[in-house]
Amino acid sequence: MADSREKKQIPLRLSAKLYDALAAWAEDDFRSVNGQIEYLLTECVRQRKKNGKYVPEHLDEPPELDI
C-alpha cells in the first residue's frame, strides 16, 4: 500500500508561453513552478469534489490562452 505522502513523477510538456505564465505566477506566490502546478491541480480537484463538476466544460479541448 502506497504512502499517501508519496509523490509520483510524471512527464509534462507545456508550451513556452504557458510555462512562462506559470513561472511568473509561481514567483508571485513564492512557489516553484512544480509547486504552483501541484497547487493548481489540488485546487481543481478540491473544487470538483465540492460541487461535483469539472472546472472546464470540455476537458478534451485545449484551452485558448491569450498569453
Q: Specify the residue for cell string 491569450.
A: 66
What's the confidence (pLDDT) of residue 44?
83
Q: What's the pLDDT at 50? A: 75
Show the 3-state SS of the chain: CCCCCCCCCCCCCCCHHHHHHHHHHHHHCCCCHHHHHHHHHHHHHHHHHHHCCCCCCCCCCCCCCCC
- Cα gap 36→32, rounded to integer Å: 6
pTM of the model: 0.68
pLDDT in tens, the chain (67 residues): 567 788 899 999 999 999 999 999 999 999 999 999 999 998 888 887 777 666 556 555 666 767 6
Check if the beta carbon of residue 67 is closer than 8 Å to that of residue 21.
yes
pLDDT at 59: 56
